[in-house]
Amino acid sequence: MSVSIVNEQSITIADGIKLDSGRILAPITLVYETYGTLNETASNAILVEHAWTGSAHLAGKLNENDTKPGWWDAIVGSGRLLDTDRYFVICSNVIGSCYGSTGPASTNPKTGKSYNLTFPVITVRDMVRAQKLLIESLGIERLLSVIGGSMGGMQTQEWATQYPNAIASAIVLATTPRPSPMAISLNAIARWAIFNDPTWRKGEYKHSPKDGLALARAIGHITFLSDESMDAKFGRKFSARDGKFDFFGQFEVERYLTYNGYSFVNRFDANSFLYLAKALDLYDVTWGYESLSEAFSRVTAPMQFFAFSSDWLYPPHQTEEMVACLRELGKPVEYHLMTSSYGHDAFLLEHEAFSPMVTKFLNDVATARGC
């Protein structure tokens, strides 16, 4: 059963945080939502990490008239994968984003104006650094679990390596220890598409640079799909509205990407898109360590990994590299390679396939903790 109406909450940390870059970001506001009830020992909290363009609005509706539930509603609620009768579920918007947490569109207290490009470059580790303060403020010393896919998986890995004592388990989906140069180059052209839009004005836009942002999103969108899923959904169908020999005639897949690209403009900020793309590219779980092995030697919590066969953005072999390393270190790790045609998006769409494994993994951890 879906959770009912939820309220967005927020916390502001006046002192902010010191970022990986050495700069201070202060104050920091974090927007978050919670579902279920924190138990007396504060031992049943699960933090869900969102991906690139996600938000704190994980599940339920914000008001009666809300037409769409949160971004991963299907797995949160009474009797669902993240069972709100048993667990206290938290989701917070990352810093750098545009859904309420401090990001480039926020007001720089020193100038009274939006940061725009004066916003500092942030890393995935910085996002988690901020979340740690939120979790502490909620009176939670140790999370029962952290779960996330894609950029959410990266954050989960940061929890496991940076705050090993603050989590009892971690569930990582469709991610990588560090994006490959192919993944970086695809983000690079998405950035370039925005830079090319004259209305972007080096971040000082009044209205969203829509043509550039829509194109940037379309590039990202392609990387979330697969040859197979596109073939099943569109094949080589040509738009019924266009002539095949019209210069501007479009294939269905092209029309779909255009439509979705322009829809995205209404819900996301261009500068946030750029800052988060940068954080993705810079991401490296070994940052500050000599090797993957050194970084993962810090892990204490059992980790469960999922990779998806048709994910070409963060292909399974990248997850397998981490799993092999953890096994070699003798860490408790579980790995599932899921067969799916949905590409990178599979982590959001294939929840029915991975739910049994996650349910069991969570139940084991929860039972051991007595919750």
Binding site for a second copy (CB under 8 A): 20-23, 117, 120-121, 178-182, 184-186, 188-189, 192-193, 196-198, 211-212, 215, 218-219, 222, 225-227, 230-231, 233-236, 244-247, 249-251, 253-254, 257-258, 274, 278, 281-282, 284, 312, 315
Structure tokens at 61: 């509706």
Least distance in angstroms from the C-beta of 252 to a second copy: 8
Which string of DSSP letters, residue by residue, matches 200-248?
GGGG--SS--HHHHHHHHHHHHHHHS-HHHHHHHTTTPBPTTS-TT-TT
In the complex with a second copy, which residue's Cβ is closer, 186 or 371? 186
Examine the residue annotation and report whether 344 is marked as an active-site residue of this protein.
yes
* Separation of first and last alpha carbons in the chain: 21
In the complex with a second copy, which residue's Cβ is closer, 29 or 287? 287
Beta strands in the chain (DSSP E): 9-13, 17-18, 24-25, 28-35, 45-49, 76-77, 82-83, 88-92, 107-108, 113-114, 145-149, 170-173, 303-308, 333-338
The catalytic position among 106, 145, 150, 310 is 150
Least distance in angstroms from the C-beta of 100 to a second copy: 22
Least distance in angstroms from the C-beta of 41 to a second copy: 40
Residue 251 DSSP symbol: B
Least distance in angstroms from the C-beta of 179 to a second copy: 8
In the complex with a second copy, which residue's Cβ is closer, 184 or 337? 184
CB atoms within 10 A of CB 310: 20
Examine the residue annotation and report whether 197 is marked as an active-site residue of this protein.
no
- Residue 109, Cβ density class (10 Å: 0-12 exposed, 13-18 middle, ≥19 buried): exposed
In the complex with a second copy, which residue's Cβ is closer, 224 or 354? 224
Structure tokens at 4: 């009912």
In the complex with a second copy, which residue's Cβ is closer, 183 or 333? 183
Examine the residue annotation and report whether 50 is marked as an active-site residue of this protein.
no
Least distance in angstroms from the C-beta of 350 to a second copy: 20
The catalytic position among 126, 211, 269, 311 is 311
For residue 278, the SS3 value is: helix
User: Which residues have a catalytic role annotated?
Assistant: 150, 311, 344
